Every structure is written in structure tokens, then in C-alpha cells.
Amino acid sequence: MTSQETFEGLVVRAKGADYFAAVGGGEVRCSLGGRFRLDESREEVLPIVGDTVLVRVEKRREAACLRGLIVGIRPRKSMFVRTDSSKRMNYRILGANLDRVILVFAVRAPDLNLRLLDRMLVAAERGSIVPIICVNKIDLAAVRGDIEAKIAPYERLGYRVVLSSAETGEGVEELKAAMEGMLSIMAGPSGAGKTSLVARVQPGLELRIGEGGTKAGKGRHTTTHFELHRLDIGGYLGDTPGIREFGVWGVTKRTLASYFRGFETARKECRFAGCTHSHEPDCAVKRAVEGGSIQGERYESYLRILETLPSG
């Protein structure tokens, strides 16, 4: 590398105003070039973890610490987004260009929350990311069949489900196979075992288990310290910080059903084109719920999300 050359890099970490980009085999500590204005209301124009960025490497240092300037961002192929009431525009992008999002839940501590799972599935579908449902702490299941029965409807919808234990190692090979060569993140409630699973998938990382992931900063300008780790099997895996809030973003009452797997056939048969499948007469989705071809629990999740969304 000579000075002032431009390279493509992968943003693996952001800290304060610094972005760390994997370039070739090394890591470059970058700041933002002049064309980026730090405008929090337009988060989408700023680099985020998972972005492919153009980095002008400023100077060559001894050891591994190169400094650079981010001068551009390649168009994103996917984004995982949730609501964030602490932000002016009410959303937060959790990662860019993700191939997989591993939705990690626990058998218990915390209890398996299917409402949250359904909200996260909508975000994955909306963001063009393949979700993998992981039910961790399977070693704590009193009756394994109960958990299998709870999660079976998701398998029937075609979602990949992995029952795992970071304690015994069950399911870890299956998770690895799903993320090999991919850009993946783990997301799910705090305490479900995300950090523990990352440590199983890639031993040797310095991770803090039992702290709900690395803490998100509280101040307005602090960036969430989430990091993509390079995997020996190929690809990158990140651990998102504990989520206190996960609302569906970028979806309206009219479009929600299109992100609900299992609703496809019925929703085309409703009498009204703009049917929101809640109060309208002659709604085929409601008929499908009554007939059992759409699971009542999924429909309940749908209605709860619908209440939170804008019309249109």
C-alpha cells in the first residue's frame, strides 16, 4: 500500500466518530470524508456496520494501525432496521448487506417470545435478509416436545429453525453451516445466549458473556459498539446489543401482510384491494384463520403490529 490510494473495505465496527474497515487482510481506522455531514436525522447516508466503503488510506503506519478516510459507500443490498424512539427519525439501522439474521431466542430465561419473533421476521423480510430462527438453551427444556410444538408452525412456513445450546454445543454445527461464507448477525432478546453462541461458532474471540452484549452508548452521538467478527469458516458474524425495543419500521397498514409468510394465498382473495385484514367484511385472511390454515397466534401478532403502523 502506498499513501493516498483508495481501497474497498468492509465496515466491521464503529466507535464514536471512528469506523474500522477490513481492507485486504488488515484493518484501517477511518474517519468520515468531508462529503458526509454528521446529520443524525439521515442515518442512512452515514456508513454502518456491514457497509462496503471506499477508503482512502492516508498514511502507512508501523504495525497494523492504518488511518484512512471514508470517501464513499457502495449501494446496500439489504438493511436490518428497527424503530428507535430515542432518534428523531424514529429508526435505527442495525446492519447493512446482511445475508442472514440469526434470531436467537431462549427456551427460558428469557421466555420464548413469539410476538417479538414475528416482529423480527417482518423486519428480516422487509430488509431482504434470510432469517434463521434459533431456539437456544434447549438444555433447559423440561419437555423438549413442547418447544418443538411451539416452533413447528414456523418450520411449516419454510423458515429454517435450529434448536441449540451454547452449553452443550447442540445445533452449533448447523448454525455454522448456515452462516458459512455469509455476512450474518445474531439478534434477539438480551440474555438469550447470542454472545455465548458467537463464542461457540468462533472460539478465541474476546467477548463478554452475560452482559447483554456490548453496551450501547446512551449519549446522542455515541455509536452502538457492535462488531463483525471474521469467521474461520469464511464470512463474518456480528452480535447486536441487547434490544429493549423492537418495533417494525418502514411498513404501513396496507403493506404489512405482504411481509407475513403464510398470508400470501388468502390475502389475494379479499374483497377489497386495500384490505388490512382486520375490520373489513369478506376478508379471506380472517376466513383462513377461522379455517385453521393461518395460525391464530400469527394472526394475533399481525393485528398487534398493525395497530402500531401508519395508514397508507
Q: Which stretches of the chain bind ligand GDP, using CB under 6 A? A: 136-137, 139-140, 165-167, 190-196, 209-210, 212-213, 242
Residue count of the chain: 312
Choose the contact partner of 137 out of Zn ion, ligand GDP, none; CB within 5 to 8 A by kind. ligand GDP
- Distance from the first to the final alpha carbon of the chain: 51
Footprint (CB under 5 A) of Zn ion, residues 251-270: 270
Question: Grid coordinates representing 167?
Answer: 452449553
Give least dist CB 215 to ligand GDP, A.
Answer: 11
- Compare residues 120 and 270 and give the one whose CB is closer to Zn ion: 270
**Torsions phi, psi of 235, nearest 5?**
100, -175
Binding mask 279-298 for Zn ion (x = CB under 5 A): ----x-x-------------
Choose the contact partner of 224 out of Zn ion, ligand GDP, none; CB within 5 to 8 A by kind. none
**Torsions phi, psi of 163, nearest 5?**
-95, 125
Count CB neighbours of 147 within 10 A: 19
Of the candidates 161, 47, 59, which has an alpha carbon nearest to the alpha carbon of residue 114? 161
Q: How far is CA 179 from CA 91, 234, 290, in A?
A: 26, 8, 38
- Compare residues 190 and 278 and give the one whose CB is closer to ligand GDP: 190
- Compare residues 77 and 254 and give the one whose CB is closer to Zn ion: 254
Of the candidates 70, 21, 10, which has an alpha carbon nearest to the alpha carbon of residue 46? 70
Choose the contact partner of 32 out of Zn ion, ligand GDP, none; CB within 5 to 8 A by kind. none
Count CB neighbours of 150 within 10 A: 14
Choose the contact partner of 216 out of Zn ion, ligand GDP, none; CB within 5 to 8 A by kind. none
Choose the contact partner of 167 out of ligand GDP, Zn ion, none; CB within 5 to 8 A by kind. ligand GDP
Question: Grid coordinates representing 157?
Answer: 412456513
One residue of 277, 289, 294, 301 binding Zn ion per CB under 5 A: 277
Contact footprint for Zn ion (CB under 5 A)? 270, 275, 277, 283, 285
